[in-house]
């Protein structure tokens, strides 16, 4: 037992010492323990939340949802702008861009944008809590929990080791997609009278699938070319996007194609 614990401590030490020294002082970055605890608490809430709400009335959080969703629109727009401008000013390449680990203003600006993107994934865990409080348990699908739970872990690795470089493309595109997505949720939260303006709901899933396809092309290209960006990270992102394409495609089929056939 002591030997196993020593191996755990040794692995932890290796993880914290080999990261990006610029981002280590930033919130939740230095050690994987805080993010691991957040992940475990999240799973605990997913398991216990619906059981605690089973015999309770749904909570009316309409005002909270309006503020939350439009705040996320603002944050997503800010991150998309920071990724785009930082990459533009630093003459980033869309085909191959190594991480600039220097402390230059542009390198730190890009790293900061990556941190905000990581932290936004922690904030987005609130989506699940809101489903639980509103007793929308049909929305607590494997896809939802898998996507939200894993993104905080994935982007912790991003901000810890590759805060910049190729990572900017994923952050920029996903932030833009979230501007559209949270705009939809914000408008929907305003009330039933908005439904006639929200005919484009089904296209949100298509939009998300398009972004995953772009990520596959972006990371796949670098897997087969020479680029000074970690192949292990590109391979991880590529594999992860494959799982999301499979899950989101199934969701699209079940929600729109299969349902339309039944009608």
Determine the number of helices (DSSP H) and then strands (DSSP E) in the chain.
10, 0
Buried b / exposed e along 3-15 (16+ C-beta atoms within 10 A) = eeeeeeeeeeeeb
Residue numbers annotated as active site: 147
| Close Cβ partners of 140 (under 8 Å, ≥ 6 residues apart) | 46, 50, 128, 131, 132
Q: How far is it, in rounded angstroms, from Cα 222 to Cα 210?
A: 19
Q: How far is it, in rounded angstroms, from Cα 113 to Cα 78?
A: 9
Half-sphere exposure of 112 (CA within 13 A, CB side): 12
**Residue 82 class from Cβ within 10 Å (0-12 exposed, 13-18 middle, 19+ buried)?**
buried
Residue 152 burial (CB count, 10 A)? 22
């Amino acid at each position: 037992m002591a030997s196993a614990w020593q191996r755990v401590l040794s692995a932890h030490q290796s993880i914290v010492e080999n990261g990006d020294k610029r981002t280590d002082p930033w919130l939740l970055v230095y050690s994987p323990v805080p993010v691991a605890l957040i992940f475990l608490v999240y799973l605990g809430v997913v398991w216990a939340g619906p059981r605690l709400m089973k015999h309770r009335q749904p909570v009316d959080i309409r005002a909270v949802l309006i503020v939350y969703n439009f705040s996320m629109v603002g944050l997503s727009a800010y991150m998309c702008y920071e990724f785009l401008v930082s990459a533009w000013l630093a003459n980033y390449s869309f085909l191959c861009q190594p991480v600039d680990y220097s402390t230059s203003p542009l390198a730190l600006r890009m790293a900061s944008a990556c941190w905000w993107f990581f932290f936004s994934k922690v904030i987005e865990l609130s989506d699940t809590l809101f489903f639980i409080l509103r007793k929308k348990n049909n929305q607590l699908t494997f896809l939802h929990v898998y996507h939200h739970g894993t993104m905080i872990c994935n982007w912790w690795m991003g901000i810890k080791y590759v805060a910049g470089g190729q990572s900017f493309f994923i952050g920029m595109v996903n932030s833009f997609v979230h501007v559209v997505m949270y705009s939809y949720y914000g408008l929907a939260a305003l009330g039933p009278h908005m439904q006639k303006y929200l005919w484009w709901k089904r296209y949100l899933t298509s939009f998300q699938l398009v972004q995953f396809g772009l990520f596959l092309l972006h990371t796949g290209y670098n897997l087969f070319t020479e680029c000074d960006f970690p192949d292990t990270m590109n391979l991880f992102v590529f594999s992860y996007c494959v799982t999301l394409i499979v899950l989101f495609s199934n969701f699209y089929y079940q929600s729109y194609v299969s349902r339309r056939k039944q009608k």
